[in-house]
Structure 1
Amino acid sequence: MRKFIILCLLAGMAMAQTPKPFGATPTADQLKWHNLQYYAFVHFGPNSFTDKEWGDGKEKEDVFNPTQLDCRQWARICKAAGMKGIIITAKHHDGFALYPSKYSTHTVRESPWKNGKGDVLKELSAACKEYGLKMGIYISPWDRNHPTYGTPEYNQVYVNMLKEITTQYGDLFEVWFDGANGEGPNGKKQVYDFPLFNKTVKTYQPHALIFSDAGPDIRWVGNESGFAGETCWSTINGAALFPAYDKPKHLNVGDANGTHWIPAECDVSIRPGWFYHKNEDDKVKTPQALMDIWNKSVGRGANLLLNIPVDNRGLVHENDAKALLEFKKLRDEYFSKNLLKKGTFTKKTGADSYDISLNKAQTFNCLVVQEDIRYGQRINEFAVQVKENNEWKTVATATTIGHKRIVYFPRVKSKDVRIAIQGTLAKPIIANVELYDTPAN
C-alpha cells in the first residue's frame, strides 16, 4: 500500500529536517511491536483435558497426554490467518510447565506424553522459525502447585524458571505477566518481586517487550473483550500503574500527555473460554464478530492478541481454524484494494487539514489513517470530509489516531477527501492514509 510520508509538516521546516519528538515516544522495539498488529495467544495445559478454566494445582501429571500434538499445525494456521506470532502459556496458575523445568516436579517431564521426553516450547520454537512467526511466552507468577509459593524463596524459583524460558527457546518478542495472585498449596499468597522479574527478562531477552497491567512496555487494555477505548492513547502516566491495577477504564483510554509510552494490547478468546471445552465447539466467534474486534482494537491504535484454545488432541480445532481463515478472507475483502494507490495527497497551507484528490470520483466508506508515532501521539480530534457539489461535507468524526485509526461512514462517491484536524497536543504528523470501499454497510 502506498504510504504518504510527510516530514515537512511544521510551519517553516525544510523538507529534509526531522520533526522534534513530542512527549513520550516509542522505543525501536515498541515500534516493531506496533507493526505486528495481530498475533495468537495459545492456552494449553492440564485444563485442556480436565475441562477447567483455572486448575487447582492438584491435577495429576498424567492428565496431560495429547495424542496428536502438532505445533507445526498451530503455526501453519496462524500464518495462513495473517498472524505474526504466537504467545503460549508456558505455565498457567495450576503451576504445570509445558517444558521440563529443573525447578518444578509438575511438568511435561512427569507426564506420559512422549514418555516424559517432550517439550512443547521447544516444538513451538521450531515451528515458529519454520513459518516465520515470532514467539512469546506467558508464565503465570501464581502457582497453585509449587511448595515454595507464598514464601520469599518462590520469587527466586520463579526467576530461575524465567531464566530457563528466556535462554533456551530463541528470541522472544513478548513476555506476558498477569497480576493473578491467589493462595498456593500452603494457603499463603505470594508477594511478587516484579522489578526482579522484569530485570531478569531484560537481561536475557533485551528486545522482548514485557506485558502487564503496569507495563513497563505494553499495558492491558482493561477488558477481555478485545476492545480498546474509542479514545485510546498509547501514552499513560506509568507511575500510577502496578500489577493488578484496578482501574480498567484508565487502562482502556490511557492519558493524553502521559509520561510513558505504554500502548494497549487487546486480549480476547475466539471462544467463550480461554482453554478448550468441547461444549464450546459451536460457540466460536464468527468472522464478522472478529472483524468488529479488529476495528475496535487494531482500528483504535492497539494490538490484537487473539486466543486459540488448543484442544485435547494438541491441535487447533477445525471450527477455530475455519473461523480464523474466513476472518483473514474477510479482512482481505475489506482492505486489499486501497483507492489511494492512485491519487495525490497534500497538506493545506496554513491549515491543519490534509486533502486527497483522486484521479476520478470513487465510491468509498472507510478511511484508515496513521500518525508517525516516532514523534509521539499528537492528534485528539479529527473529521473525515468529502466534497459534494463544491462544498465540504463531514461524514465522520473521531478522536485519537496513534498507530492506526479505522473510520467507517455511510458510503459516498467523491473525487476529493479531507482529513480535517480539529484538536491536537502538538503539530500533527500524518504518516499514512488509505481509502476503501468495504463490505460494511
Structure 2
Amino acid sequence: MEGFKRHLIACSALLLLASAWSDQPVRSKAPQEAVEAWKDLRFGMFIHWGPVALTGHEIGWSRGSQTPIEEYDNLYKRFNPKNFDADEWVRVAKAAGMKYMVLTTKHHDGFCLWPSEYTDYDIGETPFKRDVVGELAEACRKGGIGFGTYYSVCDWWHPLYPKGGRAGSEDKPAGDMDKYIEYLQNQTAELIKNYGPLTTMWFDVPRDVKARHNEPTLEMMRKLQPNLVVNNRAYYDENVADYETPEQNLGIFNNKRPWETCMTIARQWAWKPNDPVKSLEQCLHGLIFSIGGDGNFLFNVGPNALGEIEPEQVARLKEMGEWISNYADGIHATRGGPFKPSGWGASTHKGKAIYLFIARWPANGIHTLPMTGKILKAENLSGKEATLKQTANGYELSVPAEDRDPIATVVKLTVDAPAGSIEPMDMGSVTGSLTFRKPSTASSVRWNQHDFQGPHQAFDDNPGSHWVPSGKQEEWLAVDLEKPQTVDRIKILQYAAYLKELSLQYEQDGEWKTIFSADEVTGDLEKPFSPVTAQKFRLLLKDGHTHLSEFQLYRNVP
C-alpha cells in the first residue's frame, strides 16, 4: 500500500486547486467544435481488459461472485500478457474501419493498466511491468486513430472508496468519499498529462458521487485539456456531460444531444472462452442504426490473458471493415437522418447527399420516402439499378432483388439543398404490425434511461433496439392501438432473455384478461390465438429478465 500512502502527500496541490474552483460550479462542456470532431469519428473500439482475463469471467462484477475477492485481488501477480502488441490492436481496429479506441484503464476492480504514481495496484507490479496505456496511446497516434481512456468512478478495491465487497454491496470501515475523490482527481490528471491529448474521458458507475465531488474534477480536466470530450457517467448531471451512453442498446434518433452506443461483439465485456460472436449482420446493423440515429458506435472486444484479441473477433471485425470500405462516404463524418431509423433501416447525410441504408423491404418491394424537397438523383451503391418515382406522398424507391445487399442496400440520394436543412421524418412500417409506433407504457425502465431503453423501443420494427425493464419480480409492457382492433397473432423478439412466465393480456372494462400464458420463455416467441378485439394489450412478465426488442400484434384472419 505504499503507493496509496504516496498519493495522500502528492495530491495536496491538486486538492488546493480543486478547492479554489469549487465555489464556481462547473456548467461548461467541451467546445462545440471538439464535440463535432468526436462525432465525425462515428465508429470506435472499446477494450475491456485486465488480470480478470485469467479467469474468463466478467471484469469487476465477478469479484466476490465467480471469483473470491482475495483471489481476484491477487490475479495481478500472475498477469503476464506476453503477446500484447499495441500496434496489432490498432491494425485490427483500422481494418474494421474504426477511427478511435477507448481502453479500460481502471475498471470497478481498481486495477490500473498504467504505472500510476498514486497506487501500487497497477501494471508495474505485475510480471509484465510494461505500460499498457502508454504503448497503446503511442500506437494509436502512429496509426492515426484517436485514443480515449475509460476510468471507473467507483473502485471496490480502494480502501477509501466507501463501498466494497461483491459489486459494492458492503460498506468499508475506512471509506471516505472526499479523500477518494482526491485519488480520482490525481489519476485522471495523470492520464491526461501522460497520455493525452485524449479523444475522450469515459467515466462509469458514479455511485454515491455528488456534484461537489466531480465538478472540480471536470474543471481540472478541462483546464489540462480544453477540448476534452467527457461522457455522462462522471456523475448524473447532463449539464456537464458532452454525450450520453446507451449500453448494449441502440439509441433513438437524437440530433440535439450527442450520444454513443457501447455494445459487445460477443456476450461478455471481458474475455470469455468460446463466447459466441455476433453475426456480421448484427454487427453492421449496430453501426448503421447508431449513426443513422446521429450517434457513435463503440464496439467492444475483450482480449485474452496473453494480450490477444480472439481470432474469431478479429475475423468479424475485418469483415465489417471490408463492407464499410464500400460505403465509407456514408459512414464517417456524416450526421444522422433525415429519414429516422426503424425497421426499414437508417439514413445519414453529408453536404447535399443522403445515404439510405435499407435493411428490410416491404412486401411490395417499394419504400415511400415522405419528403417534399427535390431529389435530383438516386444511385444504388450496392448494385446497378435503383428506380425513383415522385408521387403525391413523396418518392417511391425500388431496387431489384438481385441488386440488393443482404446486409443493407445503400442508395445515395442527391438533393438540391444541404441535407442537414431537411426536417427529420419517420418512415413507415415494414412488418405491418398493428403496434408500430403506437403509444406505449411500461412498469419500469432500467436506470430510468427512457430515451434509450424505454417501452417505445419495442414498437419500432427494429430488432436491434430494446425495452429493458429494471428487473423487478413482475414487469409489464402495454400498448394502446388507439382504437379497438382484432388481433390473432403475436410475435415477440428478445435478447438475453429468461422469463419464468409470460402472459398476453387485453383490457376489458378496466380489467386485464389473459389470452394465453407461456412458461420458461428464453427467446423469441410467435404464436397464433383465437381472435380478440380490444384497444389495449400488454405483456405480463414474471420472474426473469429480458431485453425485449419487439412486441408485435397482427390480424391474419379477415
- Please indicate the TM-score interval, normalised by the length of the shorter structure: 0.5 to 0.7
Give CA-to-partner distance per residue, 1:225-284, whole Å, 9 cap, x none: 3x121xx2243xxxxxxxxxxxxxxxxxxxxxxxxxx4111110111110011131xx11
Asked whether 1:148 is paired with 2:148, we answer no
Q: Displacement of 1:46 after TM fit?
A: 1.7
Give CA-to-partner distance per residue, 1:46-98, whole Å, 9 cap, x none: 22222221433642121322121111110011112111111100000000000
Checking the alignment, whether the CA contact within 8 Å between 1:288 and 1:327 is kept in structure 2 is: no
TM-score by length of 2: 0.51
Checking the alignment, whether the CA contact within 8 Å between 1:355 and 1:419 is kept in structure 2 is: yes
Asked whether 1:199 is paired with 2:191, we answer no
Matched with 1:219 is: 243
Q: Displacement of 1:123 after TM fit?
A: 0.5
Matched with 2:151 is: 139
Matched with 1:208 is: 228
Matched with 2:44 is: 39
Structure 2: which amino acid aligns with 1:145? W
Distance verdict in 2 for CA 1:267–1:395, change over 3 Å: farther
SS at match of 2:373: strand
Report the Cα distance in structure 2 between the residues aligned to 1:28 and 1:38, rounded to whole angstroms.
Answer: 18
Matched with 1:319 is: 312
Report the Cα distance in structure 1 between the residues aligned to 2:330 and 2:247, rounded to whole angstroms.
Answer: 32
Report the Cα distance in structure 2 between the residues aligned to 1:158 and 1:314, rounded to whole angstroms.
Answer: 27
Matched with 2:254 is: 233
Structure 1: which amino acid aligns with 2:375? I
SS at match of 2:319: helix
Correspondence for 1:274 among 269, 274, 296: 269
Distance verdict in 2 for CA 1:299–1:143, change over 3 Å: same
Matched with 1:126 is: 138
Q: Displacement of 1:41 after TM fit?
A: 0.7
Matched with 1:79 is: 94
Identity of matched residues, %: 26
SS at match of 2:270: coil
Higher relative contact order (CA 8 A, sep 6+): 1
The CA RMSD measured in Å over matched residues stands at 3.7
Report the Cα distance in structure 2 between the residues aligned to 1:134 and 1:301, rounded to whole angstroms.
Answer: 19
Matched with 1:258 is: none
After superposition, where does 1:59-70 map in structure 2 within 5 Å? 59-60=73-74, 61-70=76-85
Checking the alignment, whether the CA contact within 8 Å between 2:327 and 2:410 is kept in structure 1 is: no
Q: Displacement of 1:207 after TM fit?
A: 1.1
Structure 2: which amino acid aligns with 1:195? E
Distance verdict in 2 for CA 1:420–1:365, change over 3 Å: farther
Structure 1: which amino acid aligns with 2:230? I
Distance verdict in 2 for CA 1:26–1:365, change over 3 Å: farther
Distance verdict in 2 for CA 1:412–1:267, change over 3 Å: closer
Q: Displacement of 1:332 after TM fit?
A: 3.1
Report the Cα distance in structure 2 between the residues aligned to 1:224 and 1:130, rounded to whole angstroms.
Answer: 30
Distance verdict in 2 for CA 1:112–1:210, change over 3 Å: same
Between the two proteins, the alignment pairs up a number of residues equal to 319
Report the Cα distance in structure 1 between the residues aligned to 2:255 and 2:422, rounded to whole angstroms.
Answer: 16
Correspondence for 1:357 among 360, 366, 376: 376
Report the Cα distance in structure 2 between the residues aligned to 1:222 and 1:141, rounded to whole angstroms.
Answer: 18
Correspondence for 1:263 among 258, 261, 273: 258
Checking the alignment, whether the CA contact within 8 Å between 1:353 and 1:420 is kept in structure 2 is: no
Give CA-to-partner distance per residue, 1:324-346, whole Å, 9 cap, x none: 010111223456799xxxxx98x
Q: Displacement of 1:418 after TM fit?
A: 6.9
Matched with 2:524 is: none
Q: Displacement of 1:362 after TM fit?
A: 5.6
Report the Cα distance in structure 2 between the residues aligned to 1:412 and 1:202, rounded to whole angstroms.
Answer: 40
Checking the alignment, whether the CA contact within 8 Å between 1:353 and 1:419 is kept in structure 2 is: no
Give CA-to-partner distance per residue, 1:158-195, whole Å, 9 cap, x none: 101111101001310100012253xxxxxxx6657221
Matched with 1:289 is: 282
Q: Which has the larger radius of gyration?
A: 2
Checking the alignment, whether the CA contact within 8 Å between 1:201 and 1:208 is kept in structure 2 is: yes
Structure 1: which amino acid aligns with 2:376? S
Distance verdict in 2 for CA 1:137–1:387, change over 3 Å: same
Structure 1: which amino acid aligns with 2:110? G
Correspondence for 1:111 among 126, 129, 140: 126
Matched with 1:310 is: 303
